[in-house]
Amino acid sequence: MLAAHARYTIDCDVLPRFTAAYLRVADGECAFIETHTAHALPRLLGELALRGLCPDDVRWIVVTHAHLDHAAGAGTLLAHCPNATVLAHPRAAVHLIDPTRLIASAKLVYGEARFSELYGVLEPVPQARIRALDDGASFDLGGATLRVHYTAGHAKHHFVVDDPALGTVYTGDAFGLVYPQLQHSGRFALASTSPIDFDPAEARRSLELIVGLGARHACLTHFDSIEDLREVASQVRAWLDRSEAWLEQCLLSDASLEAQTEAVAASYRAELSRYPLSAEDWSLLQTDIALNAQGIAVAAARRRRA
């Protein structure tokens, strides 16, 4: 029998324990928080069935921001949940209603075949079935009240979801990356500085906001629930400080974006070499090293243009 209020972690990705979505259940109603991609649909619907629920019971589909590993599957999931409404930041809602720009930019990076392999089909979300939430807005679920808080720094269209009934905050990417595979020698947390909106000052403010909510649990998209919020915040803040220093170095350089990205990646690898990482750990981190380095170099380029 389901508890009156519960949440369940769904491992969405083909790479184990890398990307999570959460099923939040409250008195017979439920919500998905994060959707991953269209490829995750069987896992999301499978979790409903496992809990004795059906797609008709889904009231809300919440995405913390519009990056494809968080929201690409929103339209596909919505098509299977006839009573659901998508909840998103206003800037994210625009991209979910018309994902043309998201698709075009991702295909430019990955190419058609790799894009399809990673993300599948991005179904547009009908405008009538999406609700854009203001900073501090709340929504109800089975007697519980959940509230969103804008948390820029990783993305301008990012919010976190505070869930006081469970003492939980769903943090998207605003509270860093805590991959279970990397926790073998104590806590290991990284900041996410991927393109295109990295802003270290805003990222720090978002960290403080999340800790200040007083939640017992932070549910990260990458990956799962953690309880040592202050320790994770301290480590993520340290990575933000390093990232800001690398951004400042980029601002002083007249090298190409590609060269600056590689220089930051080299600095990233040098810093990571201080940690006891196995070959498997390094393999896991390669994508994040590349994306974080690119995000820092892009942030410097955008700042120069401004």
pLDDT, tens digit, 9 for 90 and up, residues 85-129? 999 999 999 999 999 988 888 887 778 888 888 888 899 999 999
Residue with tokens 């990307």: 19
Residues sharing a CB contact under 8 Å with residue 91, sequence separation 6 or more, in sequence order: 66, 156, 157
- Residue 3: per-residue pLDDT: 63
pLDDT, tens digit, 9 for 90 and up, residues 130-184? 999 999 999 999 999 999 999 999 999 999 999 999 999 999 999 999 999 999 9
Q: Which amino acid is at 272?
A: L
| Contact between residue 37 and residue 14 where contact means Cβ atoms under 8 Å apart | no
- Residue 106: per-residue pLDDT: 82
Phi, psi of 224 (to 5 degrees): 80, -175
Q: Of residues 27 and 190, which shows the higher confidence score? A: 190
| Contact between residue 300 and residue 250 where contact means Cβ atoms under 8 Å apart | yes
Average pLDDT, the chain: 95
| Contact between residue 56 and residue 43 where contact means Cβ atoms under 8 Å apart | no
pLDDT, tens digit, 9 for 90 and up, residues 175-184? 999 999 999 9
Q: What is the mean pLDDT of residues 198-209?
A: 98
Cis omega before residue 196 (within 30°)?
yes
The two structure tokens encoding residue 229 = 């919020």
Q: Which amino acid is at 305?
A: R
Q: Which amino acid is at 200?
A: P
pLDDT, tens digit, 9 for 90 and up, residues 248-297? 999 999 999 999 999 999 999 999 999 999 999 999 999 999 999 999 99
What is the pTM for the complete model shown?
Answer: 0.96
Rounded Cα gap, residues 138 and 149, in angstroms? 9
SS3 label, residue 190: strand
If one looks up domain 5-225 in CATH, what number appears?
Answer: 3.60.15.10
Q: How far is CA 109 from the centre of its chain?
A: 19
| Contact between residue 76 and residue 38 where contact means Cβ atoms under 8 Å apart | yes
SS3 content of the chain, % helix, strand, coil (to 5): 45, 20, 35
The dihedral of CA 106, 112, 116, 120: what is its sign? positive
Residues sharing a CB contact under 8 Å with residue 128, sequence separation 6 or more, in sequence order: none
Rounded Cα gap, residues 186 and 261, in angstroms? 29
Q: Where exactly are the structural domains of the chain?
A: 5-225, 236-305
The helix (run of H) or strand (run of E) holding residue 187 is: none
Cα within 13 Å of Cα(151), Cβ side: 29
**156-177 burial by CB neighbour count: b if 16+ within 10 A, else e?**
bbbbbbbbebbebbbbbbbbbb
pLDDT at 1 over 50: no
pLDDT at 2 over 80: no
Of 83, 68, 91, 81, nearest in space to 13 by CA: 68
